[in-house]
Structure 1
Amino acid sequence: MTERDVFLPVGAQPTLDDLVDQAVTAEELGYDRAWFPESWGRDAVTAMATAAERTDEIGIGTSIANIYSRSPALLGQTAATLQEASNGRFRLGVGPSGPIVIENWHGIEFGNPLRRTRETVEIVRQVLSGETVSYDGEYFDLDGFRLRCDPPDPAPPIDAAGLGPKAVELAGRFADGWHAVNYTRDGLTERLEDLRRGAELGDRTLDDLRVTLSVGCCALEDGDRARELVAQHIAFYLGGMGTFYRDNLARQGYEDLAHEIYDTWQDGDRERATTLVREELRDQMGAAGTPEAARDQLEEFVDLDGVDAINVSFPRGAGPTEIRETMAAVAP
């Protein structure tokens, strides 16, 4: 059975207490896991630790913690601590983010994100084992680090985010799961083949991996506003968050449209970019409208072969009341 997760907008809430209340509400509504992003708002670790204290059953995880702003050893310590704080409910989701975030905001060279992701995952596994870490890589050379506390038992799983074929293959080979973001229903299939190839390289199968697909959702009595919010959100990511999301859509058979949306947004015509999404992409990439319509659309993602969990996410323009309304409407 496909699990139903929820992606909490960390930075968009008025207070930390409001954010944690959403995790509590998600647990009451029966969601399987609450994912906490980390970008330019509140840090995910503090929010998750607070949520772990105020919940009992819902899983928690990072989606994603970038692999540049914390060292692999610190990520391992954080994962161990959050697994303890949540009594075994934690999953660590990592990924490289993109050069706009890493170089402009953190002042770190982006370099080779695939190699750095692999090394991070391998080092975090060593840290979580409780053994002395010894690692000789392209980016990291470690010797002598060891957890002073008892290692978590079980160790939390490690998921990797990825868009391109090689990044998804890497997730299949080295991680315990893959986070898929900004995919159309039809475009996901090809990447699942990359994931399968990676799993085989790691002597595993897709059954050993958890595939989490994020779907932008908005379910409101005002169905027109819900659909417009989702269209605006998709346009923002395709047009305003660097070239990775644009190129990912182009690989899914929308090359001309992906570049037109990106170029239109970059030229400052955000209304036109949103119109292009509304007319061509919204229903392939999201679930939006009245509660009944949004639930029906979401089921089309739930039924996709190879997907283990649907991660309900919310458009960036939605307010707290609209987020709660949507969360309740599309709950398990």
Structure 2
Amino acid sequence: MRLGLNLRYLGRLAAAPPPEESLAYVQEAERLGYCVVWSAEVFSSDAVSVLAWLAARTERIELGTAAMQIPARTPAMTAMTAASLDLLSGGRFRLGLGVSGPQVSEGWHGVRFERPLVRTREYIAIVRQVLAEQKVVHDGTYYPLPLPGGEGKPLRLGMHPRRKDLPVYLAAVGPANTRLAGEIADGWLSVFFQPEASSDQLTQAQAGRKAQGLTLEGFDVVAAVPVVIGDDTGACADRVRLFTAHYLGGMGSKLHNFYTRQAARTGHADAAQEVQRLYLDGRIRAAAAAVPRRFLEQTCLLGPVSQVADRLRAYQEAGVTTLSAMVFPRDTEDGIRTLRLLADALAKSGAGD
């Protein structure tokens, strides 16, 4: 298992550090041997600009989107962006994609959130055609190319991509989408991964791989995990409560919140519903306080180094191949200390490559 760093996105909802502080974390992660840094997007900063900025300030660490929103861009534009970033970074780019949810897709991008699995399958098929330097022809429901009855013609990417097999990842929460990740992607971007409850999810990914005559060998299972290291596990847990409540309560509509459903599937249905109710009522602090400590300890790395090392072994044994840390520092020094202690914990755990 390798370590990565997940910066989330810039903005008040992510409680993310300012850009120069994030850069300090990325450069320290690179020095420590972390393999990849991921940048996200919702309706704040975009994932691509952040990575382009980081590409110019790093040398070895790989750069991934976790994830670029499918409703925000055409598949051809995404493939052009991926090819450009991969070329400019010297072959360090990883393309992570996600369908988002109805609140963002319909409220921000003006794209109906319907048949997301079909849309995702079509989207990635076109991205791969573009990167393979093929003339793009796609007879799909959502992305028919060229448009029927118009003046368009099949086009080919007007540059030579550095890698035609650039790795494509799919952000997936529900069972069907996780199966799709195994079938059509090179890796799965997960969040709130629970080692004790991971077998169903990995079974879905494995089924998707099997449909293509493949195994999980070489398939990158990426877990984005909040990390707070300290002597008092309860105090560490408190630092990730607002972040967790935001996902369980506010990342989606009342009817469609994939994170609330995931928590329910892993034994936290009542608590997740209560967190969502409080959050949607505007009682954010109460929602954060209602997040069960057990859920936080199952989905985060919290407490002393020895305890974190034990949990790292659990993640590795559950099938995670890249553990991407999300840090919640008090200041820059605390964030850098967290990255160093996590690297120490991985060395102590014996779970590293």
Of 140, 144, 147 in structure 2, the residue corresponding to residue 137 of structure 1 is: 140
CA shift in 2, pair 1:318/1:142, >3 Å: farther
Determine if contact 2:168/2:185 at 8 Å carries over to the other structure.
yes
1:157 is matched with 167
Determine if contact 1:301/1:310 at 8 Å carries over to the other structure.
no
Shift of 1:46: 1.8
Which segment is superposed worse, 93-102 or 248-257? 248-257
Are residue 218 (structure 1) and residue 228 (structure 2) matched? yes
Determine if contact 2:268/2:295 at 8 Å carries over to the other structure.
no
Of 306, 311, 325 in structure 2, the residue corresponding to residue 312 of structure 1 is: 325
Of 323, 327, 331 in structure 1, the residue corresponding to residue 339 of structure 2 is: 327
Shift of 1:277: 2.2
Tell me the SS of whatever aligns to 2:261.
Answer: helix
How far, CA to CA, are the matches of 2:66 and 2:174 in structure 1? Answer: 17
How far, CA to CA, are the matches of 1:43 and 1:321 in structure 2? Answer: 26
1:121 maps to a residue whose letter is I
Shift of 1:324: 3.0
List per-residue Cα deviations over 1:199-257 (Å, max 9, x = no partner).
11122111141111111111246765432012332222111212211011112232222
Alignment of 1:9-158 (within 5 A): 9-12=8-11, 15-143=18-146, 144-158=154-168
Shift of 1:129: 0.4
1:245 maps to a residue whose letter is Y
Identity of aligned residues (%): 33
Unaligned runs of 5+ in 1: none
Shift of 1:23: 1.9
Tell me the SS of whatever aligns to 1:142.
Answer: coil
Shift of 1:187: 2.1
Shift of 1:288: 1.8
CA shift in 2, pair 1:225/1:256, >3 Å: closer
How far, CA to CA, are the matches of 2:274 and 2:126 in structure 1? Answer: 41
Shift of 1:29: 1.9
Shift of 1:322: 3.9
Are residue 257 (structure 1) and residue 255 (structure 2) matched? no
How far, CA to CA, are the matches of 2:332 and 2:102 in structure 1? Answer: 30
1:266 is matched with 280
Provide the aligned length of Structure 1 versus Structure 2.
Answer: 329
How far, CA to CA, are the matches of 2:314 and 2:100 in structure 1? Answer: 24
How far, CA to CA, are the matches of 1:288 and 1:223 in structure 2? Answer: 6
Per the normalisation by structure 1, the TM-score is 0.91
2:204 maps to a residue whose letter is D
1:3 is matched with 2
How far, CA to CA, are the matches of 1:250 and 1:278 in structure 2? Answer: 12
1:63 maps to a residue whose letter is A
How far, CA to CA, are the matches of 1:19 and 1:165 in structure 2? Answer: 33
Determine if contact 1:3/1:310 at 8 Å carries over to the other structure.
yes
Determine if contact 1:20/1:50 at 8 Å carries over to the other structure.
no
RMSD (CA atoms): 2.2
